[in-house]
Amino acid sequence: MRNRENLEVVKRNLMDSNVVIGLVGASSNPNKFGNIILHHMRNKGYDMRPINPRADSIDGIKSYATIQELSDAATQSGKKLQALNFVLPSKLGANLIAEGIAAGVKDFWFQPGAEGEEVYQKAKESGITPVYIDCIMVEMPTKI
């Protein structure tokens, strides 16, 4: 399922200074990837924002309950919600693809362990080509 060509397109898209990346499955637990990725990517200069309906904020960073809520906030700040990075089980992520598309998201990135048959099938049905297998922390260079 790895698609290196699409990976390079998504990487270029995320280098734009006017884009926001939503982290679906962000966590306040410092031992979980939903927290590690958030801080790692922000430290690299990316405007990554947490999406977690059970948290108002994560480590002082405003968290959004829905993808659409984050998309609206990004627009209000003069930016665009370009991508979603998923760090939750495949079944849950697959159920959020349609919400991302409805919010205007163009790039979908499923972290290792977040991809699976449900995601593959839903992506195919939805006509999107997500990034699978590759880790965003490894693939994305430092922006700042």
The region that residue 60 occupies, defined by phi over 0 for left and psi between -120 and 50 for alpha, beta otherwise, is left
Position 127 in a domain: yes
- The string of pLDDT tens digits covering residues 112-138 is 999 999 999 999 999 999 999 899 999
Q: Is residue 50 part of a domain?
A: yes
Q: Does residue 144 belong to any structural domain of this protein?
A: no
Question: Does this model's pTM top 0.85?
Answer: yes
Q: Closest by alpha carbon to 93, among 22, 5, 35?
A: 22
Structural domain boundaries, residue 119: 4-139
Domain-located, residue 70: yes
pLDDT in tens, 64-84: 999 999 999 999 999 999 999
What confidence tier does 50 reach under pLDDT thresholds 50, 70, 90? very high
Asked whether residue 47 is domain-assigned, the answer is yes
pLDDT of residue 5: 79
Is 95 part of a structural domain of the chain?
yes
Of the candidates 71, 29, 22, 65, the residue with the CA atom closest to the CA atom of residue 46? 22
Domain count across the chain: 1
- Do the beta carbons of residue 42 and residue 71 sit within 8 Å? no
Task: Kindly report the CATH number assigned to the domain that includes residue 50.
Answer: 3.40.50.720
Q: Look up tokens 């209000």; give the residue.
A: 76
